[in-house]
Amino acid sequence: MDDWIAPDPVALHALGRPEKRALADLASGREWTYGALDRAIDKASAALAELGLAPGERLAVLARNSADLVIAQQAAMRMGAIFTPLNWRLAPAELAPILADCAPKLLLGDGTVSVEAPEGCRAVSLADFVAASEATAPVSRRPERKAGDPCVILYTSGTSGVSKGVILTPRTLFFTGVNFGVLGGVSHSSVFLCESPMFHVIGLVTSIWPPFLQGGTVLVSPGFDPAATNRRLADPALGITHYFCVPQMAEALRHAEDFRPDRWSLTALFTGGAPNPPANIRWWIDQGVAMVDGFGMTEAGTILGMPLEPDLIATHAGGVGFAGPATAVRIVDLHDRDVPDGTAGEILVKGPNVTPGYWNRPEERARAFTEDGWLRTGDIARRDADGYIAIVDRRKDMFISGGENVYPVEIEAVLVEHPGVMEVAVIGVPDARWGEVGCAFVVPKPGAGLTEEELARHCEARLARYKVPKVFRIEDQLPRTGTGKVQKHRLREAVLTPTD
């Protein structure tokens, strides 16, 4: 399969539907048909070559979302270079080791972050690159690229504090498009609003490849703004059918000015990246919006997804569904033995959507994969009798209290149902008597006036006693990554680091 020719959906649709709208940049108002996009990619490929980029070399990017990034990624893939978008929310000191690791030949930036290019790397402004592309003649001949060649490096978001470069190939991008395309009901009429940052798999892959694969449309926004996003979702001229967000973004949308989901044209509101409590999902269904939770990761793109039928979503609220057509999934115990339905175990994944490994880190691949090639996700899940899978927690987040396994996600789902709780994160902390106990970090809703005693009583009425946190901390906010995931390692540091 690695010897297959790399798929190029844009080139395909440039032949079959050249006048169909393919891409739009909402900030600038620019638009491209498939025919125009195909030519723009060829011109950008030629511009990259003139700037000195060669096949196999890395094109690093530090810029907010724009259609220009989509074109740059497609151009790099066509010429055989490796597109490496970096998290512009990181400080220069955090970016330096990532740049050293990927060793780019070219660095494009929009000025959002000022960082020194590493030795041997040429820094070019994104605006200058766009101008050069427009002035350059398109490539006369596209090189033959293999489906298994690296074409993207995505650095993980760092919820554990350590980033590593996940290698993606045209094959993995294509099959994420297949997986989500089937689960998400994507067609040539689909219109995706891409607001998730393109240094993340949702922004760069899942928001782009499924619609491109089917000949649909991608609308690119610089980023999420609750009021602006709400207006866009309700704009009939845009006709948005697919939108991804983390649950915290969905919560912000429902409090946006002129929130009228009855005006939306969405097939569904797709969520992931963080636990989504069943109460939230059912609330959205009551508003007439199918909130479809799913499960994926940088290493494999879309893995699991819920169906689009509201009745099935409500019945299995809190679940993340079943595997896409290009993915095989197992749930196993600590000895990699398959567990029966209803029993918690780690999700293992295999399929053509799975990464071949990590940039410069063969030892990481050895740890991440079983001997027979299954990717260890590190996520604990249960499959019910109907075949639906629900995420229990991250294996590394589970703690043992008095000999019992405790999964923080289960406690978080209970706490967020309290009417005064806006956000919550639970970790395990050392305890002399029980080994570990739960510590809950709670962000209250404005004016809620929560107390530790009230939160404890709420949990005691709904959870086994050993699951009830022994410590509650009221916080103004939770530390998050650029993609909305709670950084639990920072919470642990806050609890375990001695203070003078």
Compute φ and ψ for 394, nearest 5 degrees. -75, 140
**Residue 315 has which token pair?**
């019945």
How far, in Å, CA of 193 to CA of 373, rounded? 35
Q: What is the pTM of this model?
A: 0.84
- With a cut of 80, say whether residue 396 has pLDDT above it: no
- With a cut of 60, say whether residue 158 has pLDDT above it: no
Mean pLDDT calculated for residue range 159-188: 90
Fold (topology level) of 398-496 = GMP Synthetase; Chain A, domain 3 (3.30.300)
pLDDT at residue 500, as a whole number: 46
Whether 197 and 482 have beta carbons less than 8 Å apart is answered as yes
- State pLDDT tens for residues 262-299: 999 999 999 987 778 888 899 999 999 999 999 999 99
Quickly tell me which residue has 């196999």 as its tokens. 56
Pick from 180, 149, 186: nearest CA to 327: 180
Cα of 31 vs its chain's centroid, Å: 25
How far, in Å, CA of 75 to CA of 83, rounded? 9
Whether 53 and 108 have beta carbons less than 8 Å apart is answered as no
Among 40-54, 86-100, 383-397, the range with the most confident prediction by mean pLDDT is: 40-54
Compute φ and ψ for 379, nearest 5 degrees. -105, 135
- With a cut of 90, say whether residue 140 has pLDDT above it: no
- State pLDDT tens for residues 300-338: 999 999 999 999 999 999 899 999 999 999 999 989 999
How far, in Å, CA of 306 to CA of 292, rounded? 6
pLDDT at residue 459, as a whole number: 94
- With a cut of 70, say whether residue 102 has pLDDT above it: yes
Q: Binning pLDDT at 50, 70 and 90, where does residue 399 land? A: confident
Q: Where exactly are the structural domains of the chain?
A: 9-389, 398-496
Percentage with pLDDT > 90 across the chain: 74
- State pLDDT tens for residues 200-258: 999 999 999 999 999 999 999 999 999 999 999 999 999 999 999 988 789 889 999 88
Cα of 431 vs its chain's centroid, Å: 34
Whether 63 and 125 have beta carbons less than 8 Å apart is answered as no
Q: What is the largest CA-CA distance in the chain?
A: 72
Whether 129 and 109 have beta carbons less than 8 Å apart is answered as no
Residue 7 DSSP class = P
How far, in Å, CA of 281 to CA of 390, rounded? 14
Cα of 111 vs its chain's centroid, Å: 24
Strand, coil or helix: what is 232?
A: helix
How far, in Å, CA of 184 to CA of 207, rounded? 11
Cα of 26 vs its chain's centroid, Å: 21
Class of domain 9-389: alpha beta
- 102: number of Cβ within 10 Å: 19
- State pLDDT tens for residues 354-368: 999 999 999 999 999
Mean pLDDT calculated for residue range 23-47: 98
Whether 167 and 364 have beta carbons less than 8 Å apart is answered as no
Among 257-261, 348-352, 463-467, the range with the most confident prediction by mean pLDDT is: 348-352
